[in-house]
Amino acid sequence: MNKYLEANSSYVFRAKKQPEYTQDLNEVTLEETELHIHGDTKNIYRLSSFSKLNKLWLSYVNQRELNLIIDLINPKMLCIYDIKASDLTSLEKLTHLEILEIEWNTKATKLWDISKNKELKALYVKDFSKLHDISQITGGYNINILTLAGGNTKPLKLDTLKELAELRHLEYLGLSNIKILDESLDPLTKLKYLKELSISNQFPTEEYAKLSMRLPHAKCEKFSAYAFLGSPIGGKDVMVVGKRKPLLNSREDTEKLQKYTERFKALQEKYKL
């Protein structure tokens, strides 16, 4: 996990820490502060009686079930996995929500009016196969932590990242398996309070070099010519920064790495303020 997220672990959901799945809400006490339910959990209407419920994991939910459940809750933290719903506007009702994590949606083409979630500080959106428009994310004025990610096999495809420039309070930004039509990281130069950027290697090298000069106080492993892999792949332990750049061996390819380093520094010099 990234250092920033480690230091702010209260904002991050952990699957291994979630409560056991509750099949019937009649089987648990109303004093529960955390629950893990499915869309078809029995006696779902009882949710409105859990006055101390702050953290909810919701899995395998369709449109009707989502709308019903949202009307019954107002937690501080919500994690939804496998959501078959094209309309996410019901989430606007969650006025106490501070942390929201949504993973795996095959129907939604846009988000919701995030400005309604005035307390939202952390947002995680992953594996939305039809999402192309994130314009509504500009309403997330108080978001400190944001992750946008594709799935394990398909990237998240967006036209541009320009909307992210409005999130001036961002301190951590994660962009994983993401494909941007205009291939520009320029909007991120507006994020002057950004402390850490975790981004996949899917943009031109020049974009990373330019951004490294515009955000000198942000930590990012792509702000140098190459980065070491967590685990070697076929004897290669180094990833050269930039899309379509090769994997190399740090011991055998020292001359190549030196050339990539010189080119990267030249690009940085080009964009030096």
Q: What is the full per-residue pLDDT of the chain (273 aa) written as tens digits?
A: 567 777 777 666 655 678 999 999 999 999 999 999 999 999 999 999 999 999 999 999 999 999 999 999 999 999 999 999 999 999 999 999 999 999 999 999 999 999 999 999 999 999 999 999 999 999 999 999 999 999 999 999 999 999 999 999 999 999 999 999 999 999 999 999 999 999 999 999 999 999 999 999 999 999 999 999 999 999 999 999 999 999 999 999 999 999 999 999 999 999 998
Q: Which residues does residue 42 pair with via DSSP β-bridges, in sequence order?
A: 24
Tell me, what's the pLDDT at 273?
A: 83
- What pLDDT, on a 0 to 100 scale, did the predictor assign at position 3? 72
Short-list 162, 159, 158, CA closest to 191:
162
Token reading at 269: 């010099």
- Vertex 5, ends 59 and 1: CA angle to 5°? 80
pLDDT in tens, 183-192: 999 999 999 9
Residue with tokens 């990237």: 155
Residue 81 near residue 103 (C-beta atoms within 8 A) = yes
Q: Are 171 and 195 in contact (CB under 8 A)?
A: yes
Q: What local confidence, expressed as pLDDT, does residue 6 receive?
A: 73
Residue ranges per structural domain of the chain: 3-200, 220-273
Is 3-200 a CATH 3.40.50.300 domain? no
